[in-house]
Amino acid sequence: GGGQKVRIAMIGGGYVGLVSGACFAEFGINVSIVETNPERLSALRDGRIPIYEPGLDALVASNSQAGRLTFGDDIAQAVTGAEAVFIAVGTPPRNGDGAADLQYVHAAARQIAEALTGYAVIVTKSTVPVGTSRRIAEIIRQTRPDADFDVASNPEFLREGSAIGDFMRPDRVIIGLDQRLPERASRAEGVLRQVYRPLSVVEAPLLFTGLETAELTKYASNSFLAMKISFINEMADLCEKLGANVHDLARGMGMDKRIGRDFLQPGPGYGGSCFPKDTLALSRIAQEAHSACRLVETTVQVNEARKAGMAGRIAAACGGSVAGKTVGVLGLTFKPETDDMRESASIPILHRLAEAGATIRAYDPVGMAAAKPLLPQDVVYCTDALEVAEGADVLVVLTEWNMFRALSPAELAKRMRNGVIVDLRNIFDPTAMRAAGLTYESVGRP
């Protein structure tokens, strides 16, 4: 406070904690990141970034050097003197029912409570079910009845692969506070306005809401985007049946400002650590509230079926079966510019192909190390895209890495045994592919 520099602690140094911690440091804030995974921590301390995210290594290096960004496992040290303590630990789906597993969040709350020395706002950045912020307040009060604190819900909307840009230039920042206690809420609001002040340069609006609303807005936003993707995927299927072109359709729809052009790219089904988990969690939240989100429940089913059905599409392109065929796979991660394999469509697709008797060759520019433990054992990993094409009967594009767009159709045709391309991200020009003698199939266009 005052004229002094703002200090914050960030609990969790994963995608969200590390990116937002480094970005806050770039704003001039003193940031202590607490990470309990010893491998992640020692990497961070050695200046190695444990995840692939464009621009993150340079951002972490310069802010570490400037002394604004530090890493440790001592939560007491990080929390001492911090005006805000952000919780950015994982909230994976709980086994069985799809609800979010809050064990890491609750453990972090207990640790923070023990470490508090003066007033601090405890801010939840993790995606958490409605009611979690109040539960965190309860845990802290139980652990430390004397603690002086407020809780806030500040869900994060960054995307992997463009995380720094998304964090630095957000469409909005949502901050939920306990509006039942207006005086306390305004004190916490003051702290968070100061933390986010640098964003006024890019005119990012801060939207203050109640705790429940902020928590729910995060799930609603992710579920709406997931629904939008599933909608365009169904339109792509329909376009194929009717001879229409889904890209022109998406453009035509997207020019209507009420619809918007983004997130209308058809593909093999959405993946990642968030859409699959958050759509399931919202369905659970609604059920537990004796309400229902049927559109979201259906989106979950449509997307699961879509991922599973992609192997059949590949088999059909091979004349009905992939048994004994060599399938080349370009891209394994759930989207480009990340090494994250969580819920990637490649996982169910490659397992089905392997079960059906295909020989699989694959390449991903940064995701292969993370992919190996999740994919069938006998997948052959190649050193580049052209090596994947060598002797392949069919070449499947699963992730739209930019480097694949530049592949020459003639080079592919020369290397493949049977020139069948199944482009599940529509990165190639159908005319150019067919001109090179390749059999070319994509999603939702003739």
Q: Does residue 14 interact with ligand NAD by CB under 6 A?
A: yes
12 sits near ligand NAD (criterion: CB under 6 A): yes
Nearest to 138 by CA among 94, 170, 105: 105
Binding partner at 90 among ligand UGA, ligand NAD, none, C-beta below 5 to 8 Å by kind: ligand NAD
Interface positions, 220-259, toward ligand UGA (CB under 6 A):
222, 225, 229
Encoded amino acid at 379, one letter: V
Residue choice 107, 302, 308, 374 for contact with ligand NAD (CB under 6 A): 107
Q: Are strands 326-330 and 206-210 parallel, antiparallel or unpaired?
A: unpaired
The interface region with ligand NAD, picked from 62-70, 155-163, 204-212, 435-443 by CB under 6 A, is 155-163
Residue 126 DSSP label: S
Q: Could you tell me which stretch among 1-9, 54-62, 131-139, 153-161 binds ligand UGA (CB under 6 A)? A: 153-161
Minimum Å distance from CB 61 to ligand NAD?
19
Q: Is 190 annotated as a binding residue?
A: no
Scanning residues 270 to 299, which ones bind ligand UGA (CB under 6 A)? 270-275
Q: What are φ and ψ of residue 183, in 5° steps?
A: -70, -45
# binding residues, ligand UGA (CB under 6 A): 21
Q: Is 243 labelled as part of a ligand binding site? A: no
Is 189 near ligand NAD (CB under 6 A)? no
Q: Which residues, 73 to 92, sit near ligand NAD by CB under 6 A?
A: 88-91
Binding residue per annotation — 267? yes
Compute the distance between CA of residue 265 and CA of residue 444 in angstroms, rounded to an integer: 10
Distances (CA, A) of 354 to 306, 325, 326, 332: 18, 10, 10, 15
Least CB distance from residue 436 to ligand NAD, whole Å?
A: 37
Nearest distance from residue 367's CB to ligand UGA, in Å? Answer: 12
Task: Give pairs for 236-244: CB < 8 Å, separation 24+.
Answer: 236/266, 236/443, 236/444, 237/444, 239/444, 239/445, 240/443, 240/444, 240/445, 243/446, 244/444
Can residue 281 be called a binding residue for ligand NAD (CB under 6 A)?
no
Q: Which of 104, 224, 231, 263 binds ligand UGA (CB under 6 A)?
A: 263
In whole angstroms, what is the distance from residue 66 CA to residue 205 CA? 29
Out of ligand NAD, ligand UGA, none, what residue 170 binds, judged by CB under 5 to 8 A for its kind, is none
Residue 153 binds ligand UGA (CB under 6 A): no
CA dihedral of 254, 260, 263, 266, whole degrees rounded to 10: -20
127 is a site residue for ligand NAD (CB under 6 A): yes
For position 158 contacting ligand UGA by CB under 6 A, the verdict is: yes
Of 230, 171, 57, 196, whose CA–CA distance to 121 is shortest? 196
Q: Are 160 and 340 in contact (CB under 8 A)?
A: yes
Which helix (H) or strand (E) segment holds residue 109: the answer is: helix 103-115
Please pick, from the candidates 123, 136, 192, 274, the single residue that binds ligand NAD as defined by CB under 6 A.
Answer: 274
Q: Among candidates 78, 89, 66, which has minimal Cα distance to 58? A: 66
Q: Which of 239, 274, 293, 318 is catalytic?
A: 274
Q: Which two tokens stand for residue 324?
A: 């004994």
Query: Which residues ranging from 339 to 398 are in contact with ligand NAD (CB under 6 A)?
Result: none
- The H-or-E segment that residue 44 falls in is helix 38-45
91 is in an annotated binding site: yes
What letter represents residue 167's amino acid?
F
**Is 274 known to be catalytic?**
yes
9 CB-near residues (< 8 Å, 6+ apart): 31, 32, 33, 34, 75, 78, 79, 82, 84, 85, 86
Residue 127 annotated as binding site: yes
Tokens for 57, please give them: 């290594």
Residues 400-429 contacting ligand UGA, CB under 6 A:
none
Q: Binding of ligand UGA at residue 12 (CB under 6 A)?
A: no
* Annotated binding-site members for substrate: 157-160, 218, 263-267, 271, 335
- Please give the positions annotated as active site: 274
Residues in contact with ligand NAD by the rule CB under 6 A: 11-17, 34-37, 40, 88-91, 104, 107-108, 111, 126-127, 156, 158, 160, 273-274
Residues in contact with ligand UGA by the rule CB under 6 A: 127, 156-160, 222, 225, 229, 263-265, 267, 270-275, 334-335
